[in-house]
C-alpha cells in the first residue's frame, strides 16, 4: 500500500520561497500509470489544486499559481517536490501531496502546515 | 471562494440517510463524469469514497453512493454512523483555468 509523507519548513517569511518534499513508500514514482500532485487547504477553507507532475517531469499547474509554482520529481529518491515563490500570508495552508490516477486522488499524505509570517 | 459549491454543514441522526450536493458548471461537473468524493477525519489526509460520479473503490462501504444531474453531483450516505462524522469534499476535472477543481467542503455532524 502506497504511503506519502510531506516534509519541509513549517514557517516561511513573506517574499521567500516555500519548499516542500513528498516521500513515497510502497510504490514507484517511475510508474507511468500515476501523476503526483500537490493540493493545499488554507485555514477554514476548501481544497485548492496546485499542480501535478508525471514521472518524466511533465508538469501541469493551476492557472492561478502557475507563475510562482515549480514541481520536480526524483524517482530514484522516491520523492517529488514543490516550490512556491514570493509567498504571502495568503499562502498559509496545510499542504498535501497525493497520488493521482485518471483524475482520482487515491492516496494522500497527512498534510503539513506551512505558515507565512515574518 | 471554491470552484465547486457545497453546503457548509449538514447533520443527521444515526441510521438516517442524507445527501450532500456539489454544484459546478458545464465546464466541470456538468461536462464530465470525473467527479470524485473524499472523506476527511480531523488530522488525517482525505480518503477517496467515490470516483467517476458513482464508483466505489475497494473497501468503501456501499452505504456511500453517488449520482449526477446536470451541473450538480450528489453524495448520499445511508444508515448514518457516528464514524461518518467528518469533512466531505467533491472534486471534478475542469476544462477551465485549472485541470482540477474542488468544493469548499461539507462538515457532517451525526447527532
How far, in Å, CA of A47 to CA of A98, rounded? 13
Tens of pLDDT, residue by residue over B4-26, are 999 999 999 999 999 999 999 99
A20-41 pLDDT, tens digit per residue, is: 999 999 988 988 899 999 999 9
DSSP for residue A27: S
Could you list the pLDDT tens digit for every one of the 118 residues in chain A?
899 999 999 999 999 999 999 999 998 898 889 999 999 999 888 899 999 999 999 999 999 999 999 999 999 999 999 999 999 999 999 999 999 998 999 999 999 999 999 9
Across the interface, of A45, A46, A96, the residue whose CB is closest to B45 is A96
DSSP state, B7? -
**A47/B48 touch (CB, cutoff 8 Å), yes or no:** no
**CB proximity A1 to B under 8 Å:** no
List pLDDT tens digits, range B56-107. 999 999 999 999 999 999 999 999 999 999 999 999 999 987 889 999 999 9
B39 contacts in chain A (CB < 8 Å): none
pLDDT at B96 (0 to 100) = 82
Which of B2, B43, B45 minimises the CB distance to A108?
A: B45
- Chain A: residue whose CA lies nearest to B46: A108
| A54 at interface of B, judged by CB pairs closer than 8 A | no
**pLDDT for the residue B1:** 57
Identify the sign of the CA torsion A69, A70, A73, A78: negative
CA distance A73 to A83: 12
φ, ψ dihedrals at B45, nearest 5°: -75, 155
pLDDT of residue B2 exceeding 70: no
Would an 8 Å CB–CB cutoff place B48 in contact with chain A?
yes
Residue A17 and residue A116 in contact, taking contact as beta carbons nearer than 8 Å:
no
Tell me which residue in B43, B89, B98 faces A46 most closely, judged by beta carbons: B89
Q: Does A3 touch chain B (CB under 8 A)?
A: no
Chain A contact for B89 (CB, 8 A cutoff): yes
Q: How near does any CA of chain A get to the CA of B28, in Å?
A: 12
Contact A105 B45 (CB under 8 A): no
Q: Which residue has the cell 462538515?
A: B107
Amino acid at each position: 500500500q502506497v504511503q506519502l509523507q510531506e516534509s519541509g519548513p513549517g514557517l516561511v517569511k513573506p517574499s521567500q520561497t516555500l519548499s516542500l518534499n513528498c516521500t513515497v513508500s510502497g510504490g514507484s514514482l517511475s510508474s507511468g500509470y500515476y501523476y503526483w500532485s500537490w493540493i493545499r487547504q488554507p485555514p477554514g477553507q476548501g481544497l485548492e489544486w496546485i499542480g501535478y507532475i508525471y514521472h518524466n517531469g511533465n508538469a501541469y499547474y493551476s492557472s492561478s499559481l502557475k507563475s510562482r509554482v515549480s514541481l520536480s520529481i526524483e524517482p530514484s529518491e522516491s520523492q517529488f517536490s514543490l516550490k512556491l515563490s514570493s509567498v504571502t500570508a495568503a499562502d498559509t495552508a496545510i499542504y498535501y501531496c497525493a497520488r493521482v490516477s485518471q483524475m482520482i486522488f487515491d492516496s494522500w499524505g497527512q498534510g503539513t502546515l506551512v505558515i507565512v509570517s515574518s | 471562494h471554491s470552484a465547486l459549491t457545497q453546503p457548509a454543514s449538514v447533520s443527521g441522526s444515526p441510521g438516517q440517510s442524507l445527501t450532500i450536493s456539489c454544484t459546478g458548471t458545464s465546464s466541470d461537473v456538468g461536462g464530465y463524469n470525473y467527479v470524485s468524493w473524499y472523506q476527511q477525519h480531523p488530522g488525517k489526509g482525505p480518503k477517496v469514497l467515490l470516483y467517476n460520479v458513482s464508483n466505489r473503490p475497494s473497501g468503501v462501504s456501499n452505504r456511500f453512493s453517488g449520482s449526477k444531474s446536470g451541473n450538480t453531483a450528489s453524495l448520499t450516505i445511508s444508515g448514518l454512523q457516528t464514524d461518518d462524522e467528518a469533512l466531505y469534499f467533491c472534486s471534478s476535472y475542469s476544462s477551465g483555468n485549472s485541470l482540477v477543481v474542488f468544493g469548499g467542503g461539507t462538515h457532517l455532524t451525526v447527532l
